Amino acid sequence: MAYEDRNLTCVECNSEFVFSADDQQFHAEREYQDPKRCPSCRQAKRAGGGGYGGGGGYGGGGSRQMYDAVCADCGNACQVPFQPTQDRPVYCSDCFSKHKPSR
């Protein structure tokens, strides 16, 4: 099956985020459900910011690897939970909300 990037809406902050084709394939191979939270809210939940007693409940206690990036709009340094590629722009969380597709 060929996957294409999809925009999803976070159940925590209502911002849109990209569910990449690579991530979709990864989820399908492991029979995971689509993510319900954006990367920022998932990270906050894992760090104990969630409303389910904190701690995240993901076992191992490790944090997800983050990658350094530069926002394609404002030029500020940011971190993202995926390996940035040259063919797609990366936005900080502030600029990402400006790029939501109109419905």
Q: Which residues contact 75 (CB under 8 A, 6 or more apart)?
A: none
* pLDDT tens-digit series, residues 42-75: 888 888 754 443 444 444 455 678 888 999 999 9
21: closest CA among 90, 64, 82?
A: 82
Q: What is the pLDDT of residues 21-48, one digit of tens each?
A: 999 999 999 999 999 999 989 888 888 7
User: What pTM does this model have?
Assistant: 0.45
- Domain edges within the chain: 6-49+64-99
Q: Which residue type occupies 72? A: A
Residues above pLDDT 70, as percent of the chain:
82
- Residue 53 has a pLDDT of 39
